[in-house]
Structure 1
Amino acid sequence: MGFNLEHKDGTRDKWSGLRALFEKDRDFGIFINYQEKYNLNGVDGPYIINNQLYEVTKENKLLNKNIDRKEKLIVNVGNSDNDQFEFQLKDSIISEPEFYELPEKLVVISDIEGNFDGLSSFLINNGVIDKNFNWTFGNGHLLLNGDFVDRGENVTQVLWLIYKLEQEAIKYNGKVHYILGNHEIMNFQGNPRYANKKYKRVAQLISKNDSLKIATQYLYSDKTELGKWLRSKNVIEKIGNYIFVHAGLSPEILKYKISISDINQIVRKNWDKNLYDEEENNKVENFLTGKKGVYWYRGLSQDYKYYDKIKENELNEVLKFYQADKIVFGHSVVEDIAKEFNGKTINTDVKHGQEKNSEKTKGLLIENGIEYKLDGKGTKTKL
């Protein structure tokens, strides 16, 4: 038997096991801080740095070219349908507002994790976009409640689709909201533990650095278009009387009396640090970005190893402080869109279908103040 311990920087301590003596393609021995070698695997990108565009072809070649930032760019999706769409780069990227009136219709989905087929067909079948991936939701709002990166094989394609829809929605007085989750922020910190292996290799090649931590940090830094864009997003927003946050709000947040604006501001200043494992002196920063913070806390849904599930009286105090009626969150997987505490919480993190048109893919619709469950086939059921 061997052992294999992965570190947060992507290196491993490993023992090959005795079988390696008899296998030609496997090294024998004990390796400390071993850097595994990764390969590109199918179409990926584009990655844009100033006027340079990088993309990976079906033949696993990384191409690089100069672009005119005003021209339309093509995204090729690595799926069986070879989907494709166009988008244009934004003229400027600014931080998002945190407060909105409740629109007539608002669709919420979370925890897609690079699953382009599940996301795109869900949006098509529920009238948010058409088959050419264009916005058809008028003045409606679409809210993406964190964790749209890692695990899956079409992360960049998912991100560019959101980027494109943001611009189109504005033309119809609609809006796309993207709340950051723990997986986006792990990549800010250079922790690609849950990333598909091909993203580790492309990060190394584009950054010209074999350190997975440094390479991943570079890919998600403000030096790249996607990194700069993601860093303009919030970790919490309030729309009408609903709070939207990826993981949740611990009752302990009331000790610090932090406003929604302060939460976003403090997290934005600290999200490159791993305060989950390596706390610093500031208690507020440690709390907001740590184990009970807004993109890690699981207590709205379950008991967890560091704390118990929130009690209804505690939830009521949190809602009262933030002058809200309900919290909508993801992060903690449930079998179905779940309401708890007399409807004061709604969990949207389900095991989405990995294929198109799957009834397993689910989201939330709030239409004229009434809540519905949507699935990937377009079925609408009142909650």
Structure 2
Amino acid sequence: MKALWVVGDIHGAYDKVRALLLRAGLIDFGGQWTGGDAHLVFLGDYVDRGPNGVGVIRLIRGLEGQARSAGGQVSALLGNHEVMFLAALVFKQGDPHDRLGFREYWLENGGQPRDADQIEPAELGWLAERPAMLRVGDWLLVHADSMVYLKMGGTIDDVNASVRAVLAHANPDDWGCS
């Protein structure tokens, strides 16, 4: 079985996650994949609280392709901070659809306006497509042990499809359940 590495809750700590991956032998000093056929899974919460959430997203996205080319794999799950971030961007402050206060909630939970200013549309699309759950061998990988998953389906595929559907809705009430 190839090596499985799991990293959670980076929260914009770009320099720290790079140092961690470098020390583990998964990247080189230039940030390029050196993990061979290893499988690296990020459990979510790439943004908020720290200084460079967009840098973390860009690093992970780059490593996905590099790992694939080397016979390895990088998987990235959706965390609750990504959901808050996306909601804050979809339902902008002052918008009548933001009656639930998504932007304020995001900011109160460590939201970094500079991430909102720097994120590119393709990166937002990538975030919205992240699965909530992933099975690797006998391991079920999720960001958190939330009871909300039970409301979203009975299988990993069902839950992931339900999460994607919520993130595609323009109704803030649908987002409020996630």
The TM tier, using the shorter chain, reads 0.7 to 0.9
Which residue in 2 is equivalent to 1:187?
85
Q: What is the TM-score of this pair, normalised by structure 2? A: 0.79
Which residue in 2 is equivalent to 1:149?
47
Question: Aligned-pair distance for 1:137?
Answer: 0.5
| 1:275-302 deviation line (CA, Å, top 9, x unaligned) | 5885xxxxxxx4xx2xxxxxxxxxxxxx
Q: Which residue of the other structure, out of 209, 216, 228, is the alignment partner of 2:125?
A: 228
Question: Aligned-pair distance for 1:179?
Answer: 0.4
Give, as a single letter, the amino acid of the residue that structure 1 aligns with 2:143.
Answer: H
Which residue in 2 is equivalent to 1:244?
141
Alignment of 1:254-265 (within 5 A): 258-265=154-161
Q: Pick 1 or 2: higher relative contact order, CA cutoff 8 A, min separation 6.
A: 2
Q: What is the TM-score of this pair, normalised by structure 1? A: 0.38
Contact 2:152 2:159 survives alignment (8 Å): no
Structure 1 unaligned spans of 5+: 1-102, 204-218, 279-285, 290-383
Partner Cα distance (2:158, 2:44) in 1: 19
Determine what percentage of the aligned residue pairs are the same residue. Answer: 30
Q: Which residue of the other structure, out of 4, 8, 20, is the alignment partner of 1:122?
A: 20
Structure 1 counterpart SS, 2:51:
coil
Give, as a single letter, the amino acid of the residue that structure 2 aligns with 1:268.
Answer: R
Structure 2 counterpart SS, 1:139:
coil
Structure 2 counterpart SS, 1:189:
helix
Which residue in 1 is equivalent to 2:29?
131
Question: Aligned-pair distance for 1:199?
Answer: 3.6
Question: Aligned-pair distance for 1:138?
Answer: 0.3
Structure 1 counterpart SS, 2:57:
helix
Contact 2:152 2:158 survives alignment (8 Å): no
Once the two structures are overlaid, the 10-residue window that deviates more, 148-157 or 114-123, is: 148-157
Alignment of 1:159-178 (within 5 A): 159-178=57-76
Give, as a single letter, the amino acid of the residue that structure 1 aligns with 2:166.
Answer: N
Partner Cα distance (1:230, 1:252) in 2: 18
Structure 2 unaligned spans of 5+: 89-102
More helix by share: 2
Contact 2:54 2:115 survives alignment (8 Å): no
Partner Cα distance (1:198, 1:141) in 2: 31
Structure 2 counterpart SS, 1:243:
strand
Question: Aligned-pair distance for 1:232?
Answer: 2.3
Over the aligned positions, Cα root-mean-square deviation in angstroms equals: 2.4
Return the index of the structure with the highest Cα Rg: 1
Question: Aligned-pair distance for 1:252?
Answer: 8.5
Question: Aligned-pair distance for 1:108?
Answer: 0.5
